[in-house]
């Protein structure tokens, strides 16, 4: 990856495997490896394991960093953490066995602060999984969180040696995220009003037959919606009606049930008459009004906010930067800029939670600023350079900036994944 303080950006390299892979999410497609990008958090979805700290780490045995192989640890309400009595600082491997009759989550914690060094979730009765962590000198305890029962913290264990080890993060709870969700709900409310006003202007221009005015009104209205990206899932069917990506641009002319901003865009930039666009503009306007009117009854899911902070720009890289959502206006880079604005708005609300949990937050801010400057350089007097007219160097720089920013946003999703503590 390039560095903001160094020379010209290069194409972003693929992250190193690092032994761990994806974010724990219901929408895992497109997730990228976190090992090299973070050196902070690693997550394995299928096994439900995550560990804070560098993966691997060497040791006497390549398979089991602990010199004597994995340490067997019991997971149950009556004997949580039994089997581990101490260690020397460095890589550790624990074989966690659930001896109870119910599934459980188990965390390796700092008993004084609650910070989590590693976690296995969904550990079924009678099963064993390995947890690998790098521990510095200090005090640790396993916390067992069985399904449908209170958490139990095992005995405190002392680890001898230097205090330098893998980082830890205090869990973010649903309670922590509720104020963030409420604040973002209010921000979206204001945006639905602005969106309605802008879309009304677009509809009025089409209705009056002034297609130049309609083309001028289209982008400001569309960008308001694009800045609302963190709430898309809460919009339900309204998102499809307002901003569904529809068919491939080359197939748009023959597509059925193609509506929303992109349908109006296609007509405005492909020579359709105002008369042929009136129904499409009207349906878009009615969908926007319906969203504004229904939004006060919707409640954002607090647990999804961290994930959305990462997904907005990830989707930008997959759609706007590939031309998949350009139906003729050539404004994909303007959309990418609006997506960046939406990401920053959500990060502003999440910042109090991230400030003490994510050491790379200042670096993320640096790359967000850099990406914004890169995108702004493609707009002159309000006119945006079409994606297909970017030179090779500009395209490489943009890909690098977005790619690095997406990498640094990935831990936000993991850190803000609401977790049980009791």
| 69-95 residue pLDDT tens | 899 999 999 999 999 998 999 999 999
Whole-Å CA distances, 361 to 13, 167, 398, 411: 21, 14, 21, 10
Query: How far is 220 from 199, CA to CA, in rounded Å?
Result: 9
pLDDT band at 225 (very low <50, low <70, confident <90, very high): very high
Instruction: Check residues 6 and 228 and name the one with the higher pLDDT.
Output: 228
Q: What is the pLDDT of residues 149-200, one digit of tens each?
A: 999 999 999 999 887 777 788 999 999 999 999 999 999 999 999 999 999 9
pLDDT at 328 over 50: yes
Of residues 155 and 16, more confidently modeled: 155
Count the Cβ atoms, other than its own, within 10 Å of residue 150: 10
Residue positions counted in the chain = 422
Q: How confident is the model at residue 67 (pLDDT cuts 50, 70, 90)?
A: low
Confidence of residue 261 (pLDDT cuts 50, 70, 90): very high
Which of 258-293 are b and which e, b meaning 16 or more Cβ less than 10 Å from the residue's Cβ? bbbbbbbbbbbbeebebeebeebbebbbebbeebbe
- pLDDT of 66 > 60? The answer is no
| Mean pLDDT score, 394-412 | 97
pLDDT tens per residue across span 347-384? 999 999 999 999 999 999 999 999 999 999 999 998 99
Q: What percent of the chain has pLDDT over 90?
A: 74
Mean pLDDT of 298-325: 93
C-beta separation of 259 from 241 below 8 A: yes
At 390 the three-state DSSP class reads: coil
The torsion angle over the Cα atoms of residues 90, 411, 365 and 228, rounded to 10 degrees, is -170
How far is residue 305's CA from residue 353's CA, in Å, rounded to a whole number?
A: 12
Looking at residue 47, what is its pLDDT? 30
Q: Is the pLDDT of residue 140 over 80?
A: yes
CA atoms of 61 and 23, how far apart (whole Å): 28
pLDDT grade for 223, boundaries at 50, 70 and 90: very high
Give the pLDDT score at 324.
94
Residue 40 has pLDDT above 70, yes or no: no
Look at residue 8 and tell me whether its pLDDT is greater than 70.
no
The residue-averaged pLDDT of 393-416 equals 96
Q: What DSSP element (H or E) covers 232? A: helix 232-235
CB 11 within 8 A of CB 386: no
Cα-based angle 282, 288, 289 (whole degrees, multiple of 5): 90
> Which pLDDT band holds residue 21 (cuts at 50, 70, 90)?
very low
Nearest to 241 by CA among 223, 220, 264: 264
What pLDDT sits at residue 68? 65
User: Is the pLDDT score of 11 beyond 80?
Assistant: no
- Asked if the model's pLDDT at residue 2 lies above 70, the reply is no
Q: What is the pLDDT of residues 298-311, one digit of tens each?
A: 988 998 999 999 99
Domains plus CATH for the chain? Answer: 54-160 (2.60.40.420), 174-415 (1.20.1420.20)
Confidence band, pLDDT 50/70/90 cuts, at residue 19: very low
CA–CA dist 273, 235 (Å, integer)? 31
d(CA 340, CA 356): 23
Q: What is the mean pLDDT of the chain?
A: 85
């Amino acid at each position: 990856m390039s560095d903001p303080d160094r020379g010209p950006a290069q194409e972003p390299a693929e992250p190193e495997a690092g032994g761990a892979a994806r974010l724990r999410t219901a929408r895992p497609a497109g997730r990228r490896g976190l090992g090299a990008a973070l050196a902070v958090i690693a997550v394995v979805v299928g096994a439900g394991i995550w560990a804070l700290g560098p993966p691997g780490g060497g040791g006497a045995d390549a398979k089991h960093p602990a010199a004597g192989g994995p340490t067997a640890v019991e997971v149950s309400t009556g004997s949580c953490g039994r089997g581990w009595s101490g260690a020397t600082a460095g890589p550790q491997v624990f074989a966690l066995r659930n001896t109870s009759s119910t599934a459980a989550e188990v965390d390796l914690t700092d008993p004084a602060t609650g910070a989590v060094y590693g976690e296995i979730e969904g550990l079924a009765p009678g099963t064993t999984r390995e947890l690998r962590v790098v521990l510095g000198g200090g005090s640790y305890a396993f916390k067992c969180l069985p399904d449908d029962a209170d958490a139990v913290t095992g005995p405190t264990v002392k680890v001898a040696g230097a205090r330098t080890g893998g980082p830890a993060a205090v869990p973010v709870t649903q309670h922590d995220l509720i104020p963030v969700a409420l604040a973002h709900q209010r921000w979206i409310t204001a945006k639905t009003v602005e969106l309605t006003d802008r879309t009304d202007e677009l509809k009025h221009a089409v209705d009056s037959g002034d297609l130049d005015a309609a083309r001028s009104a289209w982008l400001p209205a569309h960008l308001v919606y694009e800045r609302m990206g963190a709430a898309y899932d809460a919009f339900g069917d309204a998102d499809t009606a307002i901003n569904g990506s529809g068919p491939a641009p080359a197939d748009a002319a023959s597509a059925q049930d193609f509506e929303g901003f992109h349908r109006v865009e296609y007509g405005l930039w492909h020579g359709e008459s105002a008369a042929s666009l009136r129904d499409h503009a009207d349906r878009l306007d009615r969908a926007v009004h319906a969203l504004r009117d229904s939004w006060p009854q919707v409640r954002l899911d607090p647990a999804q906010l961290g994930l959305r902070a990462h997904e907005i720009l990830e989707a930008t890289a997959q759609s706007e930067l590939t031309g998949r959502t350009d139906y003729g206006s050539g404004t994909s880079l303007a959309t990418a800029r609006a997506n960046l604005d939406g990401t920053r708005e959500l990060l502003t609300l999440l910042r109090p939670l991230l400030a003490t949990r994510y050491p790379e937050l200042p670096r993320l801010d640096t790359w967000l600023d850099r990406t914004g400057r890169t995108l702004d350089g493609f707009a002159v007097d309000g006119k945006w350079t079409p994606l297909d007219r970017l030179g090779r160097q500009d395209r490489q720089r943009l890909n690098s900036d977005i790619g690095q920013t997406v990498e640094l946003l990935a831990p936000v999703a993991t850190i803000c994944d609401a977790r049980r503590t009791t």
